[in-house]
Amino acid sequence: MTATATPLSDADYDARTDAVLASIEQDIDAWLDSDVIDVDQHRTGGLLELQFPDRSKIVVNTQPPLHELWLASRRGGYHFKFFDGRWLDTKDGREFFARLSDEASSHGGKTLTFSGV
């Protein structure tokens, strides 16, 4: 991507990434309540680990020094920066929640869509 990321203060970055992680947790809680899929989640600070029924994992991790959000799954690792109100992949411009939904669907073996913030 050639666009310039939106400058964020450390406090704004922390608030935005916390909202992202909380949104993911809320969606997973809703899936568990509705018996959509059994995904175990474990959060430690800025790291959120999702474990799927086949024991595969997706990790979402904040990177405060870089003001990035990272996503790792069995299909690869992705870095996101904040551009005009959205977290976009630094290589291909894909939106974070769209990428996370695709990765979760791959891990879960069914269509899973995260709502985003």
> Where exactly are the structural domains of the chain?
10-108
- CA angle 81/5/65 to nearest 5° reads 55
Farthest-apart Cα atoms in the chain, separation:
42
What phi and psi, each to the nearest 5 degrees, are found at residue 16? Answer: -70, -40
Topology of the domain covering 10-108 = Metal Transport, Frataxin; Chain A (3.30.920)
The CA distance from 56 to 38, in Å, is 12
**Res 5: pLDDT:** 84
Q: Is the per-residue pLDDT at 1 higher than 70?
A: no
Conformational region of residue 20, where left means phi above 0, alpha means psi within -120 to 50, and beta covers everything else: alpha
Q: What mean pLDDT is reported for the chain?
A: 94
First to last CA, the chain: 22
pLDDT tens, 4-46?
888 899 999 999 999 999 999 999 999 999 999 999 999 999 9
